């Protein structure tokens, strides 16, 4: 199971309970707590993106599948890697949505590790702080970026992740955990062997219809902008 810490992110990607947090259009914001007690809790996953049929709306139904090999393991340890299917480094960030009062998952790419590292270095106990995430880019805009602003409100050093509703179990629901035999089957048949409890429905796909990208980076502006909001309670963006 290829999970990795922030300091290992350079080794991944770039090769050939709740709902999802989604900011759908330019200027949309969400106020959240990142459900991490420390930087040690920030963990990424290396995954392959595969198509499993089509959705009800006729569009391809894409899902993530766990890559079973570590970055320094032989390519043959993963049938998908052996067949040159691209590997992606992903963060499935657990957040507590302050508006909806529920735990959600925010799916981000490899470059967001740098932003999370900056947040955790300034706020070593991230869950204690409320942050505002703001989208910059219209729906479907391939240059969409996201900024994260720490807010003055709601700071509580006594809070722990355990104080919030349980986080979504990423493995199995958001990321399919398939055996090498299952992967070989997919390469032959274009689908996985049917099971009684497989979570392959489109409701478990975290990505948006139009994935925001900019020259291979889907989250971070080249230079975070300083904002002076009307309410005056946001600090500089990460």
Q: What is the pLDDT of residues 143-160, one digit of tens each?
A: 889 999 999 888 999 999
- 205 vs 92: CA distance, rounded Å: 12
Measured CA to CA, the distance from residue 42 to residue 121 in angstroms comes to: 12
pLDDT at 12 over 50: no
C-alpha separations of 236 from 83, 117, 150 in Å: 44, 16, 7
CA distance linking residue 125 with residue 35, whole number of Å: 10
Q: What is the pLDDT of residue 218?
A: 41
Phi, psi of 30 (to 5 degrees): -145, 135
Residue 95's DSSP bridge partners are 34, 104
Nearest Cα to 152, choosing from 225, 233, 51? 233
* pTM listed for this prediction: 0.75
- Pairwise CA distance, residues 140 & 138, whole Å: 6
Residue 190 has a CB neighbour count (10 Å cut-off) of 11
163 three-class SS? helix
Say how far apart CA 164 and CA 41 lie, in whole Å.
Answer: 15
**Is 80 strand, coil or helix?**
helix
- Give the pLDDT mean for 113-140: 93
Convert the pLDDT of each residue in 78-107 to its tens digit: 999 999 999 999 999 999 999 999 999 999
Opening angle at CA 235, ends 232 and 237, nearest 5: 125
Tokens at 81, concatenated: 């890697």
């Amino acid at each position: 199971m290829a999970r990795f810490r922030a300091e290992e992110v350079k080794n991944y990607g770039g090769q050939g309970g709740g709902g999802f947090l989604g900011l759908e259009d330019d200027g949309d914001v969400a106020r959240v707590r990142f459900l991490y007690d420390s930087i040690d809790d920030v963990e990424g996953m290396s995954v392959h993106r595969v198509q499993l049929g089509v959705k009800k709306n006729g569009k391809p139904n894409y899902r993530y599948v766990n890559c079973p090999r570590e970055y320094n393991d032989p390519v043959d340890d993963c049938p998908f890697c052996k067949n040159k299917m691209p590997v992606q480094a992903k963060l499935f960030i657990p957040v507590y949505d302050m508006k909806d009062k529920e735990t959600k998952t925010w799916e981000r790419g490899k470059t967001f590790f740098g932003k999370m590292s900056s947040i955790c270095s300034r706020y070593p106990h991230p869950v204690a702080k409320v942050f505002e995430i703001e989208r910059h880019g219209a729906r479907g805009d391939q240059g969409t970026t996201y900024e994260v602003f720490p807010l003055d409100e709601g700071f509580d050093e006594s809070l722990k992740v355990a104080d919030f509703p349980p986080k979504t179990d990423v493995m199995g629901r958001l990321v399919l955990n398939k055996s090498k035999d299952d992967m070989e089957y997919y390469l032959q048949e274009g689908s996985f062997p049917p099971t009684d409890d497989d979570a392959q429905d489109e409701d478990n796909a975290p990505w948006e219809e139009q994935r925001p990208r900019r020259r291979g980076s889907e989250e971070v502006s080249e230079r975070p902008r300083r904002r002076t909001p009307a309410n005056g309670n946001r600090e500089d963006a990460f």
